[in-house]
Structure 1
Amino acid sequence: MNVTPGSGIEAKSWDPLLEEHILRKWHNSKIYKFAVSDHKEKFVIDTPPPYPSGRPWHIGAATHYSQIDMIARTSRMNGYNVLFPVGIDRNGLPVEIYTEKKYKVSMRRMDREKFLELCAHALDELEAEMIQTMKALGMSAEFDNYYRTDSKEYRALTQGTFIALWKENLIYRANRPNNYCPECATTIADAEIIYENIPTKLNYLKFKVTETGKNIIVATTRPELLHACQAVIVNPSDKRYVTVIGMHAILPLFNRQVPIVGHNSAKPEFGSGVVMVCSYGDENDVRLFRELKLIEIVSLDTNGRTTPAAGDYANLTIKQARARVIEDLKKTGLLDKEENIMHRTPICERSKTPVEIISLEDYYLKQLAYVSLLKEAAGKVRFHPSMHKQILLNWLDSIAIDWPVTRRRFYGTEVPIWYCNDCEHPNLPEAGNYYKPWKEKPPFEKCTVCGCSEFTGEDRTFDTWMDSSITPLFIAKYTYDPLYYRSTYPTTIRPQGKDIVRTWLYYTMLRCFQLTRQLPWSDVWIMGYGLDEQGEKMSKSKGNVIDPLPIIQKYGADAFRFWGASESNLGYDFRCSEQKIANTKNFLSKIWNLGRFLSTFPVLAQEPEYLAATDKWIMSELCKLIDRCLEGYAEFNFFVPANSIREFTWNIFAAHYIEMVKARIYDSTDATAQISAVFTSHTCFSTILLLLAPICPFITDELWSKIYSPETIHAQGMPKSVNNYSEMAKYTKSIMEFNSTVWNRKKRTISQETGKSLSLKDSINNIDIPPDLASFKQDLMKMHNLIL
């Protein structure tokens, strides 16, 4: 057989500009199209719809989505029919905040319809850039049919699920203390709160005991809520105060009498050990008001200002009221002292401002009754990595109240309720259409209770997680296409960040379980945070967010993707560095150069009868690589194959094997040995391309099509590991050590002709090949130009 070198690949280097051409080729051939009628087993990805709340898009998020694409590509190569949908999450508070900043408007001070138009326009601009970045990443998703959570179809489904849960008596209306963000002007759920230690002052106030005329000192961080105090508590075991339990204390400045109660929640070691109970300083106040049956005083309004109940301190911001109260306490001698402390404070996750507790009427979704069921169900879900299941379990253990699902915002899915003008009974429509009660007449004529024909539409919207939590149902065409739904639900995997386990993950489990009595997926894949080069979390406020699109355009998607895969071990935080992304191009250059070299030799159809010892050795190492990669891919941990492929390709295959057989590949005088080397080299390189394809889809497809087949590499299967030469792996260490010894000897040897160190191509004598490497003697001699 003639294996004379040919022309091969002409381009001397990999050009990332080729990626755009390859993208068009993929799009035109529709190689990633999902067909519900396909007989292959379905693999459905509940892809997170990213939130276009401002630019730039986070480089960590882009890394996250590139790896979700790796999940899709891996699954196709494993023989699945993959549904890889894409959506854009376009509801809720961040959209409103961005719109207000962009157009310098106030949502509350303009026409609602006009504000919604501005929101949609702002979102369109952000969405276009986000979709551009996703495509540039090489994501093999359904871009021709991507969904939006603010579309009529999506919002109709959100409303339809609410109506279904209403009919099952899982929704109720209640007026109760709830988390409220004055900045966002809306109720928020526990899951939307983070806690930060903030420097504040612990104030020691003098309360006079009515029965004794003596003072007790009450320690509080919330003196501005003094007017809403309804009790003072001390710990029954605190000997300092046991005698005053059952007596009464007079509120300073307000001269109102409240009971002194013994209660274990008072901590003797904190402050003075005496605590005032007001409505509402914190969650403990809420519990104590219920337990002690205290009468609530509304202390703050929905603007975060003090109510008329505050008397002379009414209509002030919290900061203003606190300053005024402290000033007057000092003037009257009723402030004993102030102490600087760090206070654990609830913060709104979105606005980053302190959360207040205000009694408001809201609709609630029952969740407490489902906690134990969801704990049991969580045990059946496979987490990748398993350690992050604990985040969900911890959240389930912390749930104390039902989920308030209504918000006093504009850009969101409307609550589909009309209230009877006579009896005020809430009337709901039939599911299936998208309703806007705040501007539309109801699709019915009479109240179901009293028969009245006049209605007032609800003007509130849903918590955005009410929309986001039904993504598995929407992509599976729940209620719209029964055949499609049966084929695609439950979905297979939910990929997401660890920061939204307690929100998106949990709420999706809750809602889908309530509606379908099934878990929405069998697997959950959790990624860590993308940090800056100093290990700090990126945020727009810090100014350390890196825009991924210019990086991708500069270095190419494959460089970006390989960096992300090799840098981020699944579930762990990782640091983002443009320099590391730039360095990744060196590996792609190595891949391209290997492809150029091997493309000059024909690809042999089948394994020859004879394989040289060196070829058997690298085949044993190749099988080990396949095993490691398949293990990593099985867990969708791309850190494992990325680093394994680089290590094998760079430090074993290219550095040692190719150099050992290069002379034999070119030597046509011994056809048997030459064919052995050519076949093995192509086997190794084609396998490297297949293993690398989910991570670096562009360069692998280009090389595959030029060397091995006109059919795309992304229609191929994963390589199988059949190690017929496993005994040869024992030589790896000896081969690499011998080669390194020779290379180092040449570097230290000065040529008599040039006066410089020997080059690696120069001949050298007085080096003996170790006896255990005797079977590799001919290849080693030619590689190093040894003179024995």
Structure 2
Amino acid sequence: MSDKTTMPTTYDPKAAEQKWYDFWQQGQFFKAGQRPDAKPFTIVIPPPNVTGMLHIGHALDFTLQDIIIRTKRMQGFDTLWLPGTDHAGIATQTKVEQKLREQGLSRYDLGREKFLEQVWDWKELYAGTIREQWGKMGLSLDYSRERFTLDEGLSKAVREVFVRLHEKGLIYRGKKIINWDPAARTALSDIEVEYKELNGHLYHLQYPLKNGSGHITVATTRPETMLGDTAVAVHPEDERYKHLIGQMLVLPVVGREIPIIADEYVEKDFGSGAVKITPAHDPNDFEVGLRHDLPQIIVMDETGTMNEHAGPYQGLDRADCRKKLVKDLQEQGVCIRIEDHVHQVGHSERSGAVVEPYLSTQWFVAMKPLAERAIEAQKSGKGVNFVPDRFEKIYLNWIENVRDWCISRQLWWGHRIPAWYCEACGEMHVAREDVTACPACGSTSLRQDEDVLDTWFSSGLWPFSTLGWPEETEDFKRYYPTDVLVTGYDIVYFWVARMIFTALEFTDQIPFKDVLMHGLVRDAEGRKMSKSLGNGVDPLDVIENYGADAMRYMISTGSTPGQDLRFRIEKVEQARNFANKIWNASRFALMNLEGFTASDIDIKSNLGTAERWILHRLNETVREATRLIDSYEFGETGRILYNFIWDDLCDWYIEFAKLNLYGTDEQAKRATQSVLAYVLDRTQRLIHPFMPYISEEIWQHLPHEGESITVAAWPVFDEALEAPEAVKEMELLMDIIRAVRNVRAEVNVPMSKKVELMIKPSGEAEAAIVSRNEEFIRRFCGTSSFETGLGLAAPDKAMTAIVTGAELYLPLAGLIDISQEIARLEKELATLNSEVERVEKKLGNEGFVAKAPAKVIEEERAKMADYAGKRDKVLARIEELRS
């Protein structure tokens, strides 16, 4: 060790972070495969989209994973934390198209090849940015295995899965109602549609019977779709309409004749009991249309513009069409009533456009056979362990009711569908390799399908495609299946379910043993972070101002599995203060470990009570922290580490240690140095997964063996360090010291002023503890005189405190002016009485209680309880002083 200036007065996060991340990278401490005889432990990172910068939600997700992987690495596992990014088809393409629009261009102006060059440039830029952000956060990723969802190996896996599913008849091409994004001009899956509650209208329309004998009333929220109506349906048992079934109606505006049909889909007691049927623009109507062999009339094109089937409205945008059509229908007496109507309207998650149910030829995955296997695995106990377990029910509910998955997207960025069409004979061929000649007729005139696959198709293979599948690579054999997936609860359908059923289908194993679901990061008021609210938090800004360790500690210990986290900058400040507390404690210790080496540490010999106690508390903390991390209870882990470091180590043990460190007993000093070095070393190891930078910086200054704390052994519980008798003794001493300090505070006597202290132990054992620790007590209570004895009598005019094992008396004569102190307390009592009266009056006001928010009323009641509690204490002090 060098002199005490080895550690600067204050901790500089910026300098430490750059230094130690470079050191870890150069030393390849994060690279998997360096412990061939160790048990593997694998996490594959949920790949962030290459759409832009990482946000605070990413910081939470990645920090939790880093805590797990760092702990497992220290526990001796061969750890692999595999990084990577997702091409994010529609999201990334939308970003690049926005950039082109700023230049007055569209992707069609560039053409497919040139446009894709632009997207690859975007990917390289943001993948590099993401990598830099990972480094800033201190993530211990194995960059030698970094993957991207459009990598050659992953593309091979995607084709293999597509071809196999197609060969089994589980991928097919068909015409169905899908979710259509008219802005991005692509199909969307159900889970890419975000529903928003909007104030709209319900339009009541009268369709006249062809024979002129009357009309039927229908209602719709989308009147423009009536132009594609091909029937009106009623319930077969509805007496009002039985006689009309089979008759014809005349569709207003376009004059087309449509039949009245009977179908049990109709709820006869809802509305008029008659429903307009538009097979090309509604999923339920599509099914009705199939049952009755109805025509499928599409009335708008892929941009949401009305087409030739819209008659006089051809060429209008769907929104403009609605306005003009409704006006015309009102003038013709067809639209008889318009009601205000609040309803859920689907919007594209990426473009924000209102989604149109649209009849289109697309590629689909037949989900039922795949889902059945996943359901069977989960219900037989061979499935994934969800944390919290309530998410298992949510997962099962979704896959038990899953519909066929539309996997084709009308985009250019993504995995192109491996299907080729022969221009000569019309045959379609699905293949693993590019088809250059038609297997049916030999023609070389072939055209590949223009569409790409849904992003979630490739990311659903992420846990095994990243490890080399479909090849039986060494990484795949060693690191698959993975151990835990950490992800937000909002993508259990998007991603988690897809990974499970594809893994079972293609690897016969679940992809991960555990799924840890964390919540969303919200602002301090509990609102979702968004650009519109301007309440987003950039993790790099937090790191710049407070350091990576403070941010990591705050978001990880502030989270509970499955629950949302409120981000408060004050909590980051508290985490920074905690880091500074650790730094200052370590710096003090190092000043007193001059010349001390790791080989000098001896925690078996000549240990005093305080030393045995702190080792016991460390031991208990090790056991509990290990259990909590294994249970993914990071908030509780952070709490017990904080309590041990701040309270036990800094506030108590270091203060006790000073007696030996500054004393003349060299044997006691050596024992204290050993324990101090040992406890600080183990403390840095325990806090390291949460605060990697400051723990490495301190650990490197401490007496230690090994290159880096990242690969230092995780502390383990040691039965030999248990010391219940030392705990009992220390608890009595600490209770005495706390009680005396509390009394001092109550009567306004500062620690600089010496007091008389009399202690009456409750028994022989307690008397022995007090007697042999007199020096401790005198020092930490600030006594001028000290007296103890089993038969001690309480003196006159003394403050009394009772703790478990002893009664304490502090004579007040000469210490304070009792009459002056009573006067001060009476003044304080008057203020408290006034506050109590004010709040009582407020809560007794019926108008206030009726109108005020529940939160405000609760706050007033809390004030009342606080003031009343303080008043009772002041009264008790006055009585004690008077007696």
Structure 1 and Structure 2 fold alike (TM over 0.5): yes
- Supply the distance in 1 between the matched residues of 2:341 and 2:473 (Cα, whole angstroms): 59
Pairwise CA distance, 1:610: 4.1
- Contact map agreement 1:608 1:675 (CA 8 A) in 2: no
- Contact map agreement 1:301 1:358 (CA 8 A) in 2: no
- Supply the distance in 2 between the matched residues of 1:731 and 1:319 (Cα, whole angstroms): 79
- Contact map agreement 1:363 1:404 (CA 8 A) in 2: yes
Pairwise CA distance, 1:212: 7.3
- Contact map agreement 1:493 1:522 (CA 8 A) in 2: yes
- The amino acid of 1:101's aligned partner reads Q
Matching residue within 92, 95, 100 for 1:95: 92
Matching residue within 539, 556, 564 for 1:573: 564
- Contact map agreement 1:165 1:515 (CA 8 A) in 2: no
User: Pairwise CA RMSD of aligned residues?
Assistant: 2.6
- Supply the distance in 2 between the matched residues of 1:613 and 1:141 (Cα, whole angstroms): 43
Q: Higher RCO, 1 or 2 (CA under 8 Å, sep at least 6)?
A: 1
**Partner residue in 2 for 1:631:** 627
Pairwise CA distance, 1:508: 1.7
- Supply the distance in 2 between the matched residues of 1:765 and 1:360 (Cα, whole angstroms): 91
**Partner residue in 1 for 2:872:** none
Judging changes above 3 Å, is the alpha-carbon distance between structure 1 residues 769 and 324 closer, same or farther for their aligned structure 2 residues?
Answer: farther
**Partner residue in 1 for 2:127:** 127
- Supply the distance in 2 between the matched residues of 1:452 and 1:687 (Cα, whole angstroms): 72
**Partner residue in 2 for 1:27:** 25
Pairwise CA distance, 1:337: 0.9
Matching residue within 368, 379, 388 for 1:385: 388
**Partner residue in 1 for 2:509:** 518
- Contact map agreement 1:533 1:576 (CA 8 A) in 2: yes
- The amino acid of 1:305's aligned partner reads T
Pairwise CA distance, 1:374: 0.9
- Supply the distance in 2 between the matched residues of 1:381 and 1:488 (Cα, whole angstroms): 17
SS at match of 2:500: helix
**Identity across the alignment (%):** 26
307-316 vs 246-255, which deviates more? Answer: 246-255
TM normalised by structure 2 equals: 0.82
Pairwise CA distance, 1:676: 4.5
- Supply the distance in 1 between the matched residues of 2:732 and 2:272 (Cα, whole angstroms): 73
- Supply the distance in 2 between the matched residues of 1:268 and 1:594 (Cα, whole angstroms): 76
**Partner residue in 2 for 1:438:** none
- The amino acid of 1:625's aligned partner reads T
- Contact map agreement 2:234 2:266 (CA 8 A) in 1: yes
Judging changes above 3 Å, is the alpha-carbon distance between structure 1 residues 241 and 477 closer, same or farther for their aligned structure 2 residues?
Answer: same
Matching residue within 690, 698, 704 for 2:693: 698
- Supply the distance in 2 between the matched residues of 1:637 and 1:117 (Cα, whole angstroms): 45
**Partner residue in 2 for 1:739:** 737
Unpaired segments of 5 or more residues in structure 1? 436-441, 751-756
- The amino acid of 1:747's aligned partner reads A
SS at match of 1:647: helix
Pairwise CA distance, 1:387: 2.4
**Partner residue in 1 for 2:548:** 557
- Contact map agreement 1:559 1:588 (CA 8 A) in 2: yes
- The amino acid of 1:694's aligned partner reads P
219-228 vs 388-397, which deviates more? Answer: 388-397
**Partner residue in 2 for 1:482:** 473
The structure with the largest alpha-carbon Rg is: 2
- Supply the distance in 1 between the matched residues of 2:308 and 2:725 (Cα, whole angstroms): 86
304-313 vs 611-620, which deviates more? Answer: 611-620
Judging changes above 3 Å, is the alpha-carbon distance between structure 1 residues 456 and 663 closer, same or farther for their aligned structure 2 residues?
Answer: same
The one-character-per-residue Cα deviations of 1:573-606 (angstroms, maximum 9, x if unpaired) are 1122333223311000110111112222346533
The one-character-per-residue Cα deviations of 1:699-725 (angstroms, maximum 9, x if unpaired) are 111211211315211212221223522
- Supply the distance in 2 between the matched residues of 1:769 and 1:478 (Cα, whole angstroms): 74
- Supply the distance in 1 between the matched residues of 2:278 and 2:631 (Cα, whole angstroms): 51
The size of the alignment, in residue pairs, is 764
The 5 Å alignment of 1:492-531 reads 492-531=483-522
SS at match of 1:768: strand
Judging changes above 3 Å, is the alpha-carbon distance between structure 1 residues 703 and 5 closer, same or farther for their aligned structure 2 residues?
Answer: closer
Pairwise CA distance, 1:203: 0.7
**Partner residue in 1 for 2:422:** 420
**Partner residue in 1 for 2:407:** 405
Unpaired segments of 5 or more residues in structure 2? 787-883
SS at match of 2:560: coil
SS at match of 2:570: helix
- Supply the distance in 2 between the matched residues of 1:522 and 1:36 (Cα, whole angstroms): 23
- Contact map agreement 1:663 1:782 (CA 8 A) in 2: no
- Supply the distance in 2 between the matched residues of 1:233 and 1:427 (Cα, whole angstroms): 41
Pairwise CA distance, 1:417: 2.4
**Partner residue in 1 for 2:44:** 46
SS at match of 2:613: helix
- 1:459 is aligned to 2:450: yes
SS at match of 2:374: helix
- Contact map agreement 1:8 1:597 (CA 8 A) in 2: no
320-329 vs 168-177, which deviates more? Answer: 168-177
- Contact map agreement 1:222 1:281 (CA 8 A) in 2: no
Pairwise CA distance, 1:180: 1.4
SS at match of 1:84: strand
- The amino acid of 1:681's aligned partner reads L
The one-character-per-residue Cα deviations of 1:167-190 (angstroms, maximum 9, x if unpaired) are 343322212222211122111112
89-98 vs 101-110, which deviates more? Answer: 101-110
- The amino acid of 2:12's aligned partner reads D
Judging changes above 3 Å, is the alpha-carbon distance between structure 1 residues 612 and 6 closer, same or farther for their aligned structure 2 residues?
Answer: farther
- Contact map agreement 1:225 1:281 (CA 8 A) in 2: yes
**Partner residue in 1 for 2:809:** none
SS at match of 1:766: strand
- Contact map agreement 2:31 2:144 (CA 8 A) in 1: no
Pairwise CA distance, 1:148: 2.1
SS at match of 2:200: strand
- Supply the distance in 2 between the matched residues of 1:736 and 1:292 (Cα, whole angstroms): 84
- Supply the distance in 2 between the matched residues of 1:243 and 1:667 (Cα, whole angstroms): 108
Pairwise CA distance, 1:52: 2.3
- 1:643 is aligned to 2:639: yes
- Contact map agreement 1:538 1:544 (CA 8 A) in 2: yes
The one-character-per-residue Cα deviations of 1:437-465 (angstroms, maximum 9, x if unpaired) are xxxxx4x43x2222323212222211111
- The amino acid of 1:232's aligned partner reads V
- Contact map agreement 1:414 1:459 (CA 8 A) in 2: yes
Judging changes above 3 Å, is the alpha-carbon distance between structure 1 residues 594 and 773 closer, same or farther for their aligned structure 2 residues?
Answer: farther
Judging changes above 3 Å, is the alpha-carbon distance between structure 1 residues 52 and 112 closer, same or farther for their aligned structure 2 residues?
Answer: same
- 1:658 is aligned to 2:654: yes
More helix by share: 2
The 5 Å alignment of 1:296-315 reads 296-315=296-315
**Partner residue in 2 for 1:183:** 183
